[in-house]
Amino acid sequence: MTKRIIMAVMATLALSVGAQQAMFNEVSYSPSQTEFNFSGGDKAAKAVTLRLYRAGDSAKAFKTVKMKRQGSGAYKAVVAGDLKGCFYTFDAGRGEFPGYFAKAVGVNGRRGAVVELSETNPAGWAQDRRPAIAMKDLVLYELHHRDFSIDASSGLENKGKFMALTEPKAIKHLTDLGVNAVHVLPSFDYASVDETRLNVPQYNWGYDPQNYNVPEGGYSTNPYDPSVRIKEFKLMVQALHKAGIKVILDVVYNHTFNTERSNFTLGGWDSAYRYNADGSYSNGSGCGNETASETSKFGRYMLESMLYWVDEYHIDGFRVDLMGVHDIATMNKIRKALPQDVVIYGEGWSAGSCAIAYDKLAMKAHMKQMPGVAAFSDDLRDALRGPFSDDHKGAFLAGLAGEEESVKAGIVGCISHPDVDYSRVNYSKEPWALEPTQMISYVSCHDDMCLVDRLKTSVPGISEDELIRLDLLAQTAVFTSQGVPFMLSGEEMLRDKKGVHNSFESPDSINHLDWRNLETKPQVMEYYSKLIAMRKNHQAFRMGKAELVRENVHFLPTEDCLVAFVIKGTNVGDSWHDIVVVLNANKEPRKVAVEPRKYTVVCRNQKIDERGLDTVQGSWVEVPGQSALIMHD
Ligand code: CA
């Protein structure tokens, strides 16, 4: 056989092995019959009943089938006739539920639905491809569907829906800003929004998982029709992909919303959770339970779920909620099994103590054991804005000295670097990333106060001018970091949440983006978009490799509230030679000594122009207060 034929045979084998091993393929539909499979609980149930319905939320079962026990403790039923459009539940003795891995559900996710998935594909779906963008080149934009589009000022038609992201105005905003990956807050079926009452405003971030493998009904235009949410989700992915934007899904496998009434518990799969020695549920998620990724079945569940989102919905990556609740070995298995271009990053912490050994957990401190997986840098975030534990405390941005070394660690992507003294870094006393692409660089996300609110609480008497200066300075640190930059949607509109720290169920008036700010404060969007463009145009800001960063990023001596560094651009193929970046959080201007050359200034005093704002010559440069300066020779 030629090499090509051997490779083709191997690919076929891999696919068929994968298909055979799918543990959670619960419904196989054909027009003549539908096969239902329930993989069982920890112990074989005495009996498992399948019920079939004409509707997703009401009416009595039109058929009840006793499922047949299989050798492994699984159950199976084959029902003749065309069941497309019907709904079903399993019942293993603890109450009805839609299975562990429903791929379509009725309203509020209580019953599974029989659909022909290929019929949910939009026109041209077979040609849809994940945009090829390397991890080092990503610009991440974290978005909640309702926040983004619900306000009248958005001018979007599909308010609060997946479909908003198919509208030209939304796409234009994202491409004007320059982001190339939209990270959507939980978009699988979650529990807290009543899908039968969508006429009443309801809000939740969605960290309350119900069905992991179905899009959320509240974001569809018709949650009663199981195909609609699936098709609309695909239309969203397709529209973003057409614009060269990746779609990253926030996945929350670390806990379920319900414990006693979760799909896992109802199916008798009690070992999906971890327990304390006294038999109570361990609560590393802070939400009442935590799942057991280290067990082969739940680890397999997470993997099959992510593979399904990649295959069926063309998802480009995952943001793993409370990744520190999961175990390292499972995260590595997932990394290996997902296509290499599928991005994985997560929160390298938990929200409480977990019921397995700390050294097994996928914590930020253990990232070196998980190459190809990235974690958020709370080091950089809190060095800039202040600690997560106290909204009123400031840090670098507030003009408080002592955070400079933590900012430097964030600039290099939390890798080991000769100029960074980790003993003086706020949280991590040693470098935790092997490569800078393992660090997500950010100053704000949906959690905690957004940047504007935090600046208001941590800088007493802040003026609007000062607020904007510090906001832009903060993002300059984020976007000149060698880590992967990430921003919360709406920051480009100088978003505020009226000081609300945890807005997970706050009304639209708190969470919505106010698009009018694009008109009234256009300088913010202008600066952000030019900053992002500069990063994208200059690989010196995104080298991707630790060795290159160690060799080509050098810090100048720091002063209080001032961090300055030189990037050797030409060494990494950049058209700019030496690039000098100064972040000055002092209220007053500062002078910084530089190599005496003629420099072109491309960022100063809240203005960016890659072609040059000005030139300066000499052995020092003056940097205005509360702002960034970037220049090159
Ligand atoms: Ca739901």
How many other CB atoms sit within 10 Å of the CB of residue 15?
Answer: 10
Q: For residue 218, how far is its CA from the centre of ligand 1 (angstroms)?
A: 6
Q: 547 in a domain, yes or no?
A: no
Statement to judge: residues 190 and 285 lie in one domain: yes
For the chain, percent of residues with pLDDT exceeding 70: 97
Q: Is 278 a catalytic residue?
A: no
Q: 584 in a domain, yes or no?
A: yes
Q: For residue 195, how far is its CA from the centre of ligand 1 (angstroms)?
A: 6
Q: 140 in a domain, yes or no?
A: yes
Statement to judge: residues 168 and 200 lie in one domain: yes
Statement to judge: residues 462 and 498 lie in one domain: yes
Nearest to 470 by CA among 389, 400, 554: 400
Catalytic residue among 195, 347, 379, 453: 347
Q: 171 in a domain, yes or no?
A: yes
Statement to judge: residues 101 and 184 lie in one domain: no
Measure Cα distances from 337 to 23, 320, 341, 387 in Å: 15, 16, 11, 36
Q: Any idea what the CATH number is for the domain that residue 429 is in?
A: 3.20.20.80
Q: How confident is the model at residue 162 (pLDDT cuts 50, 70, 90)?
A: very high
Statement to judge: residues 114 and 167 lie in one domain: no
Q: For residue 225, how far is its CA from the centre of ligand 1 (angstroms)?
A: 13
pTM, to two decimals: 0.96
Statement to judge: residues 441 and 487 lie in one domain: yes
> Mean pLDDT, to the nearest integer, of 318-329?
98
Q: 605 in a domain, yes or no?
A: yes
Can you name the residues that pair with 275 across neighbouring β-strands?
281
> Mean pLDDT, to the nearest integer, of 384-411?
97
Cα separation, 547 vs 586, whole angstroms? 32
- Domain count of the chain? 3
End-of-domain residue from the set 92, 125, 158:
125
Measure Cα distances from 349 to 328, 475, 576, 605 in Å: 12, 24, 38, 37
Q: For residue 107, how far is its CA from the centre of ligand 1 (angstroms)?
A: 7
Q: For residue 310, how far is its CA from the centre of ligand 1 (angstroms)?
A: 21
Q: How confident is the model at residue 21 (pLDDT cuts 50, 70, 90)?
A: low
Statement to judge: residues 235 and 339 lie in one domain: yes
> Mean pLDDT, to the nearest integer, of 54-61?
94
Q: 461 in a domain, yes or no?
A: yes
Cα separation, 36 vs 13, whole angstroms? 25
End-of-domain residue from the set 492, 516, 541:
541
Looking at every residue in the chain, the average pLDDT score rounds to 96
Statement to judge: residues 328 and 385 lie in one domain: yes
Q: 339 in a domain, yes or no?
A: yes
Residues with CB under 5 A from ligand 1 (ion): 189, 217
Q: Is 359 a catalytic residue?
A: no
Q: Is the pLDDT of residue 15 over 50?
A: no
pLDDT at 512: 98
Q: Any idea what the CATH number is for the domain that residue 19 is in?
A: 2.60.40.10
Q: Any idea what the CATH number is for the domain that residue 568 is in?
A: 2.60.40.1180
Statement to judge: residues 222 and 361 lie in one domain: yes
Statement to judge: residues 155 and 106 lie in one domain: no
**Containing domain of residue 369, as a range?**
136-541
Q: For residue 199, how far is its CA from the centre of ligand 1 (angstroms)?
A: 15
Q: 243 in a domain, yes or no?
A: yes
Q: Is the pLDDT of residue 517 over 70?
A: yes
Measure Cα distances from 267 to 97, 191, 307, 615 in Å: 8, 18, 22, 69
User: Angle 69-62-27 (CA atoms, 0-180°, nearest 5)?
Assistant: 45
Catalytic residue among 321, 435, 471, 492: 321
End-of-domain residue from the set 99, 125, 151:
125
Q: Exposed, middle or buried, 46 (CB in 10 Å: 0-12/13-18/19+)? A: exposed
Q: Is the pLDDT of residue 403 over 80?
A: yes
> pLDDT for 146-156, tens place per residue?
999 999 999 99
Statement to judge: residues 494 and 390 lie in one domain: yes
Q: For residue 466, how far is its CA from the centre of ligand 1 (angstroms)?
A: 42
Statement to judge: residues 196 and 256 lie in one domain: yes
- For 161, the token pair is 């829906």
Torsion angles phi and psi, residue 140, rounded to 5: -90, 140
